[in-house]
Amino acid sequence: MHLFCSPAFISFVAMPSFGQMTKTTIIYIAAVAFVLGVLVFVHEFGHYAVAKLCGVRVEVFSLGFGKRLWGFRRGDTDYRLSLLPVGGYVKMSGENPMEDRTGDPGEFMSHPRWQRFLIAIAGPAMNILLAICILTGLYMFHHDFEAYLRAPVDLVTVLPNSPAEKAGLQKGDRIIKVADVQNPTWQQFRNMEFISPNQPLDLTIQRGDQILNKTVIPNVKEPDKIGEMGVEHPQVVGSLEPDGPALAAGIQVNDVIESVDGKIVHDIPQMLEQLQASKDQPIHLTVLRDRKEVSLNLTPRVMQGKYRVGLRADLAEKLPFRAALAQSTKECEENSMLIFKLVGGMLRKKIPMESVSGPIGIMKISGEAAMIGPAPLFYIMAMISLNLAIFNLFPIPILDGGLILLLLIESVMRRDIKQEIKERIYQAAFVFLLLFAAVVIFNDVAKSFHHM
């Protein structure tokens, strides 16, 4: 069975009203069925295709577990849909170490270790390739993101009595290093913050001409047990309407909106509310440009049915193929390293298990993305595909990584591990995965109740 581990980076939307519940539930179920169906198919197809190329007899290709609901047989393989849609599997002849070997050349164990290694790694490799392909497609055709995510970490708001304030961080500081990440963007900074609840996080900051080293211990934010140090991200201008008041007044892309009529702007929706109240009265806007304050006067006007000034905090981009491929590969690499850091923190008992999302969490995240639109859903699919690949590469028997580890050990030993030992290893691993699944699902349920 495939489980999914994912840093809890997705914000939660408000619970739907009773009248919306049925429609929302259908969308959530359809979204998770689509996401898991595609990811499991791609993963298992990787195993299946390489096994066929190597001459291994594939007996079953199943989407889902349990009772066979529908399918057909072609050659040696039974292609089926099964009752429990929580994963899938490919059953190869002689694959189970607890089965007796007959020496049939079509059996998995009759093939050399290098072929068995390729078969084992093909599933995770296909999921990684799928993640890269999805992100590349998104970046080539249409990709919306909040502009601040790629901006340098300039602190605009440090919350009172927060870990950040207690550590001595101030408005105007620029974080030029977080842990081992040099010149981080807000996205990289947030990622490191989230996986460091109650753990010292080393920062290097630039304050004017000074370079200072600080250590912050983020609080634990419920219910996901992620780290939170008490700094708000800036409202960075991502794009400007060509005929809007903001452009005419001299506002530029990458400006940071600091205040409207002396009131600090914490988010763009709050600013829009202020504009609806003041209507077409002139406003005084203060922005930060290259970390220096710039004052501007402008008059809102009705645009798209509301009083606006013609600026957006998000940015839409279309990249050429090579740039899109490079960006998607970089993002997959960074997220892979983040997953390893998350798991490493859990193994050292520095990061709580609540930081991991299981099947219920995956359904919630996929459903929320589907409610927004297809692009967010495909982005979430790419991230889950990457998580699935990394998780399956962990050296736990039953998972692909466990099989790879045993093959490497046998290659060093130059002989097979005894059948009895393999049986005990797989039995222990099966119990471990069942317990892990139970804990993750329990955490999902507990977090769901917390948000009700």
* Active site residue ranges: 44
Backbone φ, ψ for residue 88 (5° rounding): 180, 175
Question: What is the amino acid identity at position 25?
Answer: T
Pair of tokens at residue 87: 């994963």
Pair of tokens at residue 67: 């009772």
Residue 168, C-beta contacts closer than 8 angstroms, at least 6 positions apart: 212, 214
Q: Chain-centre distance of CA 321, in angstroms?
A: 23
- Dist CA 72 CA 392 (whole Å): 28
DSSP secondary structure letters along 116-170: HHHHHHHHHHHHHHHHHHHHHHHHHH-EEEEGGGGSBEE-SEE-TTSHHHHTT--
Site of tokens 């577990």: 65
The packing angle between helices 359-372 and 419-450, to 10°, is 50
Beta bridge partners of 217: none
Beta bridge partners of 73: 78
Sign of the C-alpha dihedral, residues 398, 399, 402, 406?
Answer: positive
- Dist CA 108 CA 293 (whole Å): 68
Give Cα separations from 405 to 15, 33, 113, 336, 428 (angstroms): 44, 31, 11, 19, 16
Query: Quick check: 199 and 235 in contact, CB under 8 A?
Result: no
- Dist CA 3 CA 25 (whole Å): 22
